[in-house]
Amino acid sequence: MKPIVLLLAASAALLLSCGNNTGTTKSTEKTLSDSLFDAVIDGHNAGMAKMPKLTDAKKKAQVIIDSIRQLPAKAKQAAAPYLARLDSLKKELDNAESAMNTWMDEINIDSANNDVEKRVKYLTDEKEKVSKVKAAILSSLQKADSLLKK
């Protein structure tokens, strides 16, 4: 029975000594470039999540625009201010979509992987760009929600 107790004690001591790693490892540290990269991806994902709603808003706006343009002259004239707001909204929605597509075409996720300073600068710039794109998407959708009430 003593050998079993000694074996268990030795096993426990071995497990405890292996798990007692007080140093940090590179794999668990989060660097500034990692945080910036995550922020860029989060901005992209937030904007992309709204793209189906943006597409729907563009379609609805276009249907209403087309309908107003087919009205008789007097009704068309009465709806002119609303038509102007719809045209403006449609352009805003188009611009927001275009901004996201352009940003996605131009970003180079692997840029300056071997130069931390350049990578941080690049990702900082991309974070700012994607934040503006996301803001344009959200702003245009907010306007669409108020203008295209059901």
Residues 6+ apart with CB under 8 A from 95: 136, 140
Residue 28 is predicted with a pLDDT of 52
Residue 115 is predicted with a pLDDT of 86
Could you tell me where the beta strands, DSSP code E, fall in 9-103? none
Q: What is the DSSP string of 126-146?
A: HHHHHHHHHHHHHHHHHHHHH
* 18-36: pLDDT as tens digits: 544 444 444 455 788 899 9
**What's the whole-model pTM score?**
0.77
**Tokens coding 60:** 């609805």
For the chain, the structural domain boundaries read: 34-147
Of the candidates 146, 145, 126, which has an alpha carbon nearest to the alpha carbon of residue 134?
126
- When comparing pLDDT for 90 and 21, which is higher? 90
In the block, which residue shows the tokens 């075409």? Answer: 105
- When comparing pLDDT for 3 and 138, which is higher? 138
Residue 20 is predicted with a pLDDT of 47
Instruction: Count other Cβ atoms within 10 Å, centred on residue 18.
Output: 8
